[in-house]
């Protein structure tokens, strides 16, 4: 299950998984998707190691900006992943 996190000004939608436990490590997968004329730009990152497993259409500079954003938001992504997404009333 993927949960919405935020949509950026360029229409990149950021979503995240629930907490995935693997070898006693709690991981969260974060997806980035932006619509294009012919589909989507997409990127996926696994926390806590900031391992990029897929990048299509985003520039190196954009990925570096995403890394910076993730470093400032990792604690929130883990929090929301543990409770089933952002709870908005």
pTM for the whole structure: 0.92
Spatial separation of the C-alpha atoms in residues 9 and 78, rounded to whole Å: 23
Q: How many residues does the chain have?
A: 89
Spatial separation of the C-alpha atoms in residues 3 and 18, rounded to whole Å: 8
Quick: pLDDT tens for 12-57. 999 999 999 999 999 999 999 999 999 999 999 999 999 999 999 9
pLDDT of 88: 67
pLDDT of 89: 53
Cβ atoms 29, 17 nearer than 8 A: yes
Residue 86 main-chain phi, psi, to 5 deg: -70, 130
CB atoms near residue 61 (< 10 Å):
8
For the segment 63-84, the average pLDDT, to the nearest whole number, is: 96
Closest to 70 in 3D by CA, of 26, 29, 24: 29
């Amino acid at each position: 299950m993927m949960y919405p996190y935020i949509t950026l000004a360029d229409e990149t939608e950021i979503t995240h998984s629930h907490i995935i436990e693997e070898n006693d490590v709690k991981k969260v997968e974060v997806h980035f998707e932006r619509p294009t004329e012919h589909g989507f730009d997409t990127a996926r990152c696994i926390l806590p190691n900031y391992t990029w497993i897929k990048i299509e259409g985003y520039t190196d500079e954009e990925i570096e900006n995403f890394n910076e954003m993730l470093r400032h938001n990792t604690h929130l992504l883990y929090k929301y992943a543990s409770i089933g997404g952002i709870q908005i009333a």
